[in-house]
Structure 1
Amino acid sequence: MNQHSVKMIHSEVVNGQLVIVVQRRGMMRNTLAQIERAISEALGGARVAVLTEAQWQAP
């Protein structure tokens, strides 16, 4: 059985955008976009970016 999980490891507001850094296991890339949309909608259309640890740490 495939295990899929997402764990939020960091969040902050950068230039008016909520940035959420997640650790993911066994997920497709488009799942992050779905999470991003769901959070944005839940926050009334707020600007949201969901990044992996590697994306967050990249220069």
Structure 2
Amino acid sequence: MFLLQAIENTKNNTQNNSLGKEIAQWIFENPIILLVSGVVVSVGFVWILTKVTKQIRTFGE
């Protein structure tokens, strides 16, 4: 029963996902945007990682 509802919900959400797929395809087809978005994600990850390590180092002081 739940599996059938999940399949129906997936079929109904395909129209909503089409915009996301178009944006992802546009980003993938433009190498400059792909490169910039990769750099932003990498810098964000490193920034979060440094914040976490600083919290671990200063824990208990």
TM-score (norm 2): 0.30
Larger radius of gyration: 2
TM-score (norm 1): 0.31
